[in-house]
Structure 1
Amino acid sequence: MQQNHLLDIATWRNRSAGFRGIPSICSAHPFVIEAAMVRAAKSGSPLLIEATCNQVNQDGGYTGMTPADFHRFVSETAARAGFAMDKVILGGDHLGPNPWKSLPAAEAMDKAEVMIRAYAKAGFTKLHLDTSMGCAGEPVALPDEITAERAARLAAAAEDEIRNTNATRPVYIVGTEVPIPGGAMEELDILEVTKPEAAIKTVEVHAEAFEKAGAGSAFDRVVGAVVQPGVEFGNHNVIAYDPEKSKSLSASLESLPNLVFEAHSTDYQTRAALKALVADGFAILKVGPGLTFALREALYGLDQIAAFLMPESRRATLLAVTEAVMVENPGNWNKYYHGSPAEQHLQRHYSYSDRIRYYWPEARISEAVSALLSVLGEIPIPETMISQHLGALYPGVRAGNIVPTAKGLILGAIDLVLEDYFEACRA
């Protein structure tokens, strides 16, 4: 049985070389996964890839993939990229009743148990237990004790699913101050950092609940707790990390010697801020929308380049297709984007929340992306057009570090974000 890569993550902060933390790549987009594998190979780091409960579950999620399907997808991508699967850590994010929270708690938790069993059986070895949300008839946020009891039930189910197998035993992440999947739903000003005593209490309550559920051995593999360090992003703004405000929270890790903190919604933070987070004990840095935001920037830049170079080659631009599909099917953005029609139009395409990421698997948009890439093929894109439409990539192209083809520029755009995370985690 292989030892879990993350089992000793609490000791990483004492390293003088190597990695003190790890980025968590929360995306199911093939270009994002491929770019992450290329970056991890360059960095000599294991690669943590996480699927959320909304992306991937027993019903298929918005990607249409079950946990077994997602494992297969990552394995096939690794084979094409020449990346060893034994360097990949598969994680499940926000595993709990969230996809079914409109149902009564008993029904939603039954479905959550089926989901986490599927994740465990499929070989996911980092499981974030998120039972903090209320279901039908319950408050929006639940007391720690109920959250912990439900989390322990899910951990016990995951353990039971792999009990008589040689599967690598998973590590667990717990926590009750958990941001919702996908980023904030409103404009943000300031955030309240988790109080140290709240973080300590959360861990203690979970320890008791795991023991009561007969999952005490699983609690020995709880390696992290989700807390709020004061970072988040809304549709138009980003709240930057302020180490001074989280000083006492970071100090509370002295009372939690075998744990690290997991920071969600770190998208759009600067490299300096990310490095400060890792130094302060937030050793797992979740990033998702920030990566698909970079993907969308690259695709839209290429869309403009193709429209200029080959104006008669497509029936419609990618931008026109995505706009039509999102307007016809508003379910993934209309609760998040507010204001006038013009403001909503802006947000559909350029919001930090990047709700457009839910639409990339949609058939018409997928076909439009394929048409764009087919039109541009392997032709070298003129440097001057890269400077105009993909300016952040221009220095890398000039230096010979980014291949000036459509695919090369897409991977290069995503890698600019990934590089910040991997370098921030390096000792």
Structure 2
Amino acid sequence: MQVALNELAALRVQRAPVGITSVCSAHPIVLRAALRHGRDHSSTVLIEATCNQVNHLGGYTGMTPANFAALVLRIAQEERCPGDLIVLGGDHLGPSPWRDRAAEEAMAEAERMVAAYVAAGFRKIHLDASMGCMGEPAALNDETTARRAARLAAIAETAARRAGGAMPVYVIGTEVPPPGGADHALTTIEPTAALAARRTIEIHRQVFAEAGLMEAFARAIGLVVQPGVEFGNHNVIRCDRSKIDALKQVLDDEPQFVFEAHSTDYQGANPLAALVEDGFAILKVGPELTFVLREALYGLDLIASDLVPGYGERPLYAAMEALMLAHPEHWSRHYYGTEDEQRWLRHYSLSDRIRYYLVAEQAQSAVARLCGALAGKSIPLPLFWQHMPAAERFSDAPFDPQEVLIWRVTRSLAEYHAACGGAR
């Protein structure tokens, strides 16, 4: 089912709500799974990159927006996914990567980043200038946030006119969950107050009008709010619809908008469908997809250890452990407890910070060795029952490791697709 982003609000008003899954990952296998799934279901494939992951200076992936767009389009061509199904989005676009600098310097970098995103073909832009820079409060007030968002929108508008093609659509909102999930065990998450959501929209509307950007504001399709769902290192808080009755009414008074829900990972099909029905038409997922990819890789690592002479005892696990210990910067501030607790969190935490390491040369070499060890082998059914029971369909036939990895990611994507209305 193909649906345009600017159709979501109208469909909700017509009491026929549908959703779109926002795939927030730069891993090639996750991207391939998303594009293949979109091709097979003729459905919109919304793929988003974050400001820390991809920016004009390279981000932690080393990719600029143009590099990321080229990667997506190359895989799309290989998978024969039609280009008109693909939408590229930029998530949390603002000064966050440079918030240790003075505000003006950080905003100048953010402007260059936004221009690079739009020039590269990204047309869904989440304006997020809510975080304080050097010497400022950690979270800014709505007016300062809106003024900085408008400044970035002006840059996006200019870049889009220069590049040609469709003009951007925007997502606004300051109540954003921690990227990648929370660092601690969670007991409850309070949804955004309806009054706060109304105030965010109204202040942005006023500031954009003062800046002469009402044409851009008319293309603001989404508002980021907290629906009361989240995941931490250890657990998941699922949707409680009884807590968002007042919040849902905001959309009745602001029919231009739908809600965008961040951190919807691990919710499952029924809670996701409830979110869509309640107006959360954009469901963002990222760590879950690389978590299940890692889950499949580790399952295959165990199978190869049992099946292939000379492969060794879980060498992929050992390689990842050595890599994370040698370069702790991506996990050390997020995982707490004893050494034993930190060890299992490095590999199995729901926040999945191991995803930062999967692109490293050492990790890729270990994955390549694993795939080479199993490629073409006939894996006995009992080994799948032991290590990857749900993958038994791949037993007793020439084995293609990439196919089982894509299959595992697609199982999660299928839940989102169904929740968004794809099963209708």
**Residue number among 54, 59, 62 corresponding to 1:61 in the alignment:** 59
Residue 286 of structure 1 corresponds to 284
**Residue number among 351, 354, 370 corresponding to 2:352 in the alignment:** 354
The whole-number CA distance in structure 1 between the counterparts of 2:163 and 2:354 is 40
Residue 192 of structure 1 corresponds to 190
Please tell me whether residue 392 in structure 1 is matched to residue 390 in structure 2.
yes
The answer (yes or no) to whether the contact 1:183–1:234 under 8 Å persists in 2 is yes
Q: What SS does structure 1 have at the residue aligned with 2:300? A: helix
Q: CA deviation at 1:315?
A: 9.4
The answer (yes or no) to whether the contact 1:293–1:352 under 8 Å persists in 2 is yes
Residue 116 of structure 1 corresponds to 114
- Give deviations 1:164-195, integer Å, cap 9, x for gaps: 44221110000010113221122211111111
**Residue number among 194, 198, 201 corresponding to 2:199 in the alignment:** 201
The one-letter code sitting in structure 2 at the alignment partner of 1:195 is A
The one-letter code sitting in structure 2 at the alignment partner of 1:58 is H
The answer (yes or no) to whether the contact 2:90–2:126 under 8 Å persists in 1 is yes
- Give deviations 1:167-224, integer Å, cap 9, x for gaps: 2111000001011322112221111111111111101111112222232211110000
- The TM-score, its normalising length taken from structure 2, stands at 0.95
Residue 69 of structure 2 corresponds to 71
Q: CA deviation at 1:79?
A: 0.8
Residue 297 of structure 2 corresponds to 299
Change (3 A) 1:283 1:197: same
Which segment is superposed worse, 260-269 or 404-413?
404-413
The whole-number CA distance in structure 1 between the counterparts of 2:14 and 2:39 is 20
Q: CA deviation at 1:363?
A: 1.0
Residue 95 of structure 1 corresponds to 93
The whole-number CA distance in structure 1 between the counterparts of 2:278 and 2:314 is 48
1:11-410 to 2 correspondence within 5 Å?
11-13=10-12, 20-313=18-311, 317-394=315-392, 397=394, 405-410=400-405
Q: What SS does structure 2 have at the residue aligned with 1:162? A: helix
Q: CA deviation at 1:314?
A: 6.0
Residue 418 of structure 1 corresponds to 413
The whole-number CA distance in structure 2 between the counterparts of 1:213 and 1:366 is 48
- Give deviations 1:325-369, integer Å, cap 9, x for gaps: 101101000111001111000100000000000111111111111
- Give deviations 1:381-424, integer Å, cap 9, x for gaps: 32221221112333x558x9x99531121111111110000000
- Give deviations 1:93-117, integer Å, cap 9, x for gaps: 1111111111111111111111000
The one-letter code sitting in structure 1 at the alignment partner of 2:10 is T
Q: CA deviation at 1:316?
A: 6.9
Residue 4 of structure 2 corresponds to 5
The answer (yes or no) to whether the contact 2:377–2:398 under 8 Å persists in 1 is no
- The TM-score, its normalising length taken from structure 1, stands at 0.94
Which segment is superposed worse, 109-118 or 177-186?
177-186
Q: Which runs of 5+ in 1 are unaligned?
A: none
The one-letter code sitting in structure 2 at the alignment partner of 1:11 is A
The one-letter code sitting in structure 1 at the alignment partner of 2:9 is A
Change (3 A) 1:295 1:356: same
The whole-number CA distance in structure 1 between the counterparts of 2:348 and 2:40 is 30
The answer (yes or no) to whether the contact 1:192–1:230 under 8 Å persists in 2 is yes
The one-letter code sitting in structure 1 at the alignment partner of 2:8 is I
Give the fraction of aligned pairs with identical amino acids, expressed as a percent.
50
Q: Which runs of 5+ in 2 are unaligned?
A: none
